[in-house]
A and B are shown apart, each in its own frame.
Chain A
Amino acid sequence: MKDNLLETKQRIFQYWYIDGLPELALGGIFLILGLYFYIQAVIPNESLLGQILNVGFVVIIIGSVYLTRFLIGYFKNRLTYPRTGYVAYQRKPGQYRWIRVILAMGIAALVAGLIIAFPGYEKLMPAITGIILSFVFLIFGYRGSILRFYLLSLISLVLGGVFSFLGTGGNIGLGYYYFLIGLICSLSGGCILRSYLKKYPDKPEDDHVG
């Protein structure tokens, strides 16, 4: 019985990723981050744009997250739900959200602390980012038994390692890393979406009612 419930839980988790839209959205965020770090690397820090970008980093992240949430919802309403149905997931209690926020802030603080304490540490930024994201992909892959997330996990690890090994650390390395991982996520999401739309042609509206 436990195995059946676990299997059902995995299938329910997989359903959110069935159309590739979350990966497309994640790819979009990574591409924005790639552009951000690249611009940070090429413009002088003292310039007005440099200062705005420094201050606006959190705004850019939060704004991107909200925009992608909106876009995912918008496209799921138009593409996914009419084809394979609508679900509302059970919301975990608020404390879980706070645990995730605290964990993310802890990791960010640790990385920032390491950079301050060990200036040469900047060269390892792509590798560290690659490891963190690899771990995140791994968790998602395991939770939903989704093979392509394991692949993304490996790619993240390799990319981060390569850029650090090549000596392209700091903002430029992060820019390249996020750009490439963003491109790969977008391609992955795009392929899944194409495959999904081909497999599930649209149904007439009145077919939805039971």
Chain B
Amino acid sequence: MLDETNKLVRQVAELDRLVHEPARLSILTLLFMLDSADFLYLQHETGLTRGNLSSHLSKLEEAGYIHIEKTYRGKVPLTLCRLTEKGKDAFELYRKQLKQFVDRAF
């Protein structure tokens, strides 16, 4: 019983901390389902403040999970975010690990 509990605790500890954060998980989930999204859409959907969202996006970009492109749509500046292949793999691995943990724990 203790062995099983220890295994479960280790499983949680192994989760990618970059993904396993509520705000970043929301961002990655949205980008996983879309081709790309701009900063304003992510802010609108996640409910995060500009500063908070900027900070999370920077961390994800540093890790190579997302690609941020500053571009224009006509004359309107646009900050477009897109999940990278590394980000997709990290997100899918996280889902798989979390599902295993939930299946074993409950």
Interface residues of A (CB under 8 A from B): 1, 4-5, 8-9, 11-12, 15, 77, 81-82, 84-91, 203, 205-210
Which of chain A's residues has its CB closest to B99's CB? A1
Indicate the member of A81, A82, A87 with the most B CB atoms within 10 Å.
Answer: A87
Given contacts A208-B78, A208-B79, A209-B70, A88 and B35 within 8 Å (CB-CB): yes
Separation in Å of the B38 CB from the closest CB of chain A? 4
Interface of B is mostly: helix
Q: Pull 22 A–B residue pairs with CB atoms less than 8 Å apart, ordered by A.
A: A1-B98, A1-B102, A8-B29, A8-B33, A9-B33, A11-B45, A81-B38, A82-B40, A84-B44, A85-B42, A86-B41, A86-B73, A86-B78, A87-B34, A91-B35, A205-B77, A207-B50, A208-B39, A209-B78, A209-B79, A210-B54, A210-B68
- Cβ contact within 8 Å between A208 and B38: yes
Q: How many residues of B contact A (CB 8 A)?
A: 32
Indicate the member of B38, B50, B68 with the most A CB atoms within 10 Å.
Answer: B38
Chain B contacts of A91 at CB under 8 A?
35
* A85-B38, A203-B40 given; 18 more Cβ-contact pairs under 8 Å: A8-B29, A8-B33, A12-B30, A15-B41, A77-B74, A86-B40, A86-B80, A87-B36, A88-B35, A88-B37, A89-B35, A207-B50, A208-B79, A209-B77, A210-B43, A210-B50, A210-B53, A210-B54
- Cβ contact within 8 Å between B36 and A208: no
Chain A contacts of B2 at CB under 8 A?
none
- Cβ contact within 8 Å between A8 and B78: no
- Contact of B76 with A by CB under 8 A: yes
